[in-house]
Structure 1
Amino acid sequence: MPYSYEPHYFEDLDVGQTFESAGRTVTETDFAMHSMFTGDWTELHTNKEYSEDGPFGARIAQGPMTFILSTGLFQRTGIVERTVVAFLGMNYMDIPNPVFIGDTVSADFEVTEKRDLDSRDDAGLVVIDSEMTNQDGESVFAGDMKFLFKLKSDAE
């Protein structure tokens, strides 16, 4: 299913429903900004000369940066705009392959769980499985994301 750019409330989501993100190319600026924001200047990510002799032959994105790229792609689907109350965490996260400067990544998302919460009358729990791939179709991130989505009836 192509990306929707349409906000979804809890009631609009169904288990098995899928969403596809737009793609984006990872840049040198992305690497620098992530290092500046987090303070992670590990040479594997920031030193071109050192990294060329390393296990990947070039600089790679930090694992947390890879996760953040996937959350940004999810936001770009538009389904969470003004409808998500909170990101609650993840049950699992895998980073099976590195992300390099110049890679173009995109992601597929699937609703795998949805349930009402006794503790909330304004939102429900939605679990979204995600897989981000590079331009060669290699998986570079997989994980589930747990969100509280607003109830449509509460928003009206």
Structure 2
Amino acid sequence: MPYSYEPQYFEEYEVGQTFESAGRTVTETDFVMHSALSGDWTELHTNRHYADDEYFGERVAHGPMTFILATGLVFRCGFLERTVVAFLGMNYMDIPAPVKMGDTISLDLEVVETKPFSSRDDAGLVVIDSEMTNQEGETVFAGDMKFMIKTEP
């Protein structure tokens, strides 16, 4: 399965269509950049000595960072390039296991709904289920992402 896809307009999405992202390894830099951008320097994520003695036994990614990593993998696939108008939210989001520094993550995606908007004819709704796993195949993020996608010009 390819990891890079051509941009798609609303009409090109079909329920059941799947995509798979390339993988990426989560680094110390990712942790620092997320903390710097968000202002969240919680010690569970940023203090190795503190985190070693806590529940997970090591630093783990912030929950919002896990979500951001998932959205980054979606956009890296390319099918939303220049056709996405907006990210409209999620009906559900789960983070059943932590992302740890050094994990290699990837994302499996499936289109679960497409729906024209009654209020506009230049875009439609596409809902995509996502599951992010680590190198062990453990699910670290799951959720449905709702996008407003341009219709074909």
TM-score interval, normalised by the smaller of the two chains: over 0.9
Give 1:35's aligned residue.
Answer: 35
Q: In structure 2, give the amino acid aligned to 1:119.
A: S
- SS class of match (1:3): coil
Give 2:89's aligned residue.
Answer: 89
> What's the CA shift for 1:3?
2.1
User: What is the CA RMSD across the aligned residues, in angstroms?
Assistant: 0.7
Count of matched residue positions in the alignment of Structure 1 and Structure 2: 153
Give 1:54's aligned residue.
Answer: 54
Q: What TM-score, normalized to structure 2?
A: 0.98
What CA distance in whole angstroms lies between the structure 1 residues aligned with 2:12 and 2:77? Answer: 14
Give 1:107's aligned residue.
Answer: 107
Where does structure 2 lack aligned partners over 5 or more consecutive residues? none
- Decide whether the 8 Å contact of 1:5 with 1:76 is kept in 2: no
Q: What TM-score, normalized to structure 1?
A: 0.96
Where does structure 1 lack aligned partners over 5 or more consecutive residues? none
What CA distance in whole angstroms lies between the structure 2 residues aligned with 1:62 and 1:4? Answer: 27
Residues 68-127 of structure 1, C-alpha deviations (whole Å, 9 max, x = no match): 000000001100000001000000000000001100000000000001111111000000
Percent identity reads 73
What CA distance in whole angstroms lies between the structure 1 residues aligned with 2:89 and 2:136? Answer: 29
Q: In structure 2, give the amino acid aligned to 1:28.
A: E
